[in-house]
Amino acid sequence: MIASTKLHRARTQLEGVRPIYRELKGLVEDLRCEKEAQHHQYYKEREVQSSLYIILTSDRGFSGAYNANIMSEAISHMSQGKNEKILIVGSKGKEYFKRKKKNIIRAITDVDDTQVYYGSESVAKWTIELFLSQEVDEVFLAYTEFENILNHIPRVERLLPIGITSQNQEDKGDNRYEQGINVYMDYLIPLYLHMSLFRAISESHTSEHASRMISMDSAGKNGQSIGNHLNLPSRLPNPKY
């Protein structure tokens, strides 16, 4: 019942942030057609010497395969021989990657739900500082996408650099930006990263509560079945003396 209540609240938050994220993502992808953007650090590919992984897990267990799935997906993605740095969210992930002797440079645990929005903004700013200072050359986000109560998909997506695809090489030249495109990007990209993190955390929290609700429901039914099997029959035969 507790997980069900939290699931409803998390799902409402997720449905609110998804449209904002999609609109921002569309704007950021449209910028890839601009010649000036193609040479900006946010978009330009560089030789990768160090990668940052932001991995979202939970602080508590009893959530089925939720944590195992996303941690396995992240580990599988890391097996490219690159120098990885990890920002882990959630005590379960912290314990796991510590046992794996991975390079955890920051761990965030026991975050109150009311602080998630501002916390994701702080992480976005910190991530941008690492990227622009070239302490990391690419940034990945590992989270669990919520499809429905039964389906939760672990994903690893690249946040930075945004990259240029072959069909975006031509400069459209039909957009005008007040104060210049660089100023526009300096405001848009941090907001996009903030909303990307906030949306991913919302996706993960919703998936976590759904997994926990299903696991607890299954455990309750199993416990009731075992209890019924162990109960004495209501009518015992009369004792013989």
**Which residue has better confidence, 175 or 16?**
16
The residue that leads in pLDDT, 36 or 23, is 23
Q: How far apart are CA 164 and CA 142, in angstroms?
A: 22
If one counts every other C-beta atom within 10 angstroms of the C-beta of residue 165, the result is: 10
For the segment 136-191, what is each residue's pLDDT rounded down to a tens digit? 999 999 999 999 888 899 999 999 998 765 454 555 556 777 778 888 898 999 99
Residue ranges and CATH numbers for the domains of the chain are 2-216 (3.40.1380.10)
Rg (CA), the chain: 23
128 touches 190 (CB < 8 A): yes
List, in order, residues 6 or more apart from 210 with CB less than 8 Å away: 3, 7, 146, 149, 150, 152
| Of residues 55, 27, 31, the one with CA closest to residue 44 | 31
Q: CA 55 to CA 143: how far, in whole Å?
A: 6
Residue 197 or residue 61, greater confidence: 197
pLDDT-based confidence at residue 239 (cuts at 50, 70, 90)? low
What average pLDDT does this structure show over 195-223?
Answer: 82
Q: Which of 78-82, 115-119, 141-145, 191-195 has the lowest mean pLDDT?
A: 78-82
* Terminal Cα distance for the chain, rounded: 50
Mean pLDDT of 61-82: 85
